[in-house]
Structure formats: structure tokens, C-alpha cells
Structure 1
Amino acid sequence: MTMWDELFRPLEQIDFVPATNIVKKDDEFAVVLAVPGYTEDQLSLSIDDNVLEIRAQGAASTDNEVYLRREIRQLPFRYRVELPERAQVDQISAELKAGLLTVRIPLQGKKVIPVKIHSVDTTKSLQA
């Protein structure tokens, strides 16, 4: 495919990924996708091998509508993000509000491993 062909291929063939924000807080992080016009029925979430996958089905087109200009489209997409080891995957929640899909992933508390420091007298070994 030439560069010219690439520029003028139909929009449906272009890989679509919605605008995304990933926000990290101490106890959770959130993935926020801009999905205006999509319904809950069109969106699905799954987790496999600590990877969150968000998929969307495109909107069904109606044959009886004639568009003079069409810029708003609901294309199918697949978005994947690797979750941190501390993610509590069994407590993930999602909310679709005002065209934003917000997926909240709670994090387990940080593991603190105590380290004991032993002092060594190096002056004795230097005198030898």
C-alpha cells in the first residue's frame, strides 16, 4: 500500500483508539476513555494475565439515513493496558457517564519489608 492509498483509505479501516487518561493515586488508578455516544451494551471489559482489555462494538448503521457530513462515528476498538502487580482485579469497577468510561482499579497496600543493618568494624581488618 502506498502512502497515497494510506491517506485515503476509508475511516472504518483505520485503527481507532479513543482518547485516554490514566490517573494514579496512592490506593487506586483509573483508566478514563472518551467514548461519546457509546452505550453500556456496546462496551465490554475483560482481564487476562493481568491485562485489562476494553472493547467496543461500533454502532449499527441505518440504510435510510443520508449524511451530508459525518464526523461523529462509533467505531469498534480494542484498548489494552497492563495492570500493576498490586491491582485488586476482583474489585475493579466501571462507570459510563457523560461520554467518559471510567475504570477504577483498587491497589493493595504497599508491602514493606524490614531490613536489618549489621555494622561491621572495618578498622580491625585494615591493621593486618
Structure 2
Amino acid sequence: MTAYALGSFRDIVPAAAGAGPHPDIIAYVERIQATLDPFGGRFLVHGAEVEVVEGTWPGNLVLIGFPGPAEARAWYASPAYQAIVPLRTDHVEGVILLVDGVAPGYDPAELAAKMRAAGAAGS
């Protein structure tokens, strides 16, 4: 089952007014792919403009896919990735989430039926 790392970033601190991203952010972007490769991680969304069609979205979105949850967790905990984390966290506010994808053949109607049955059992 595929797993994902989702990052939501906001309040990026520039190097100086009008100078573009901080050099540490550039170094982070340059080095992150090498941390993903051993775990089969690949960017699915990175730097794309977000079109908000409902609600509000305060920032940028990054989505990385992994072959499975073990690979996603191992990547995040890896010494190689942890070594570059401060390059980002010292200059950008945000969150990173690790989330399991759904299995092939997932049917949301089955979940709805379970929800309905649980609601009826609790009545």
C-alpha cells in the first residue's frame, strides 16, 4: 500500500528583502532527493501553485509518495534526512504528515456501510 509524506509550509523567511529564498532552503531542496532515493520516495507535488476551491489554504504544499508506510517512516527517521531538517525548520513554519494510502480496490461505500452499521448499533 502506498504511503505519503505531505508537507504544508507557510511563513518562509527570505534571505533578505527581495533576495529570494534563504540559502539554507536552497540547500535543503538540493539535498532532499538524495534522502528519498534509498526509500523509493518521489515527489508528486512540489512547488505547484495551489488552486483553493473551498476553504482557505495558508501556504505551499508538498506531496511525496513512497512504496509503503515502512519506507515513509524510515525516510523521515533516516540520519540523512534528519541532517537536513534544520535547513528547512530554521526558516519555514509548517507541518509534515505521514499518511497511509488506501489499498487497491478501496471502495468508500464499504466504509459508509460500516459507519451506518456502527451508528445503528449505538442507537
TM over 0.5: no
Identify the structure with bigger relative contact order (alpha carbons < 8 Å, sequence gap 6+): 2
Higher strand share: 1
Higher helix share: 2
TM-score normalised by length of structure 2: 0.28
TM-score normalised by length of structure 1: 0.28
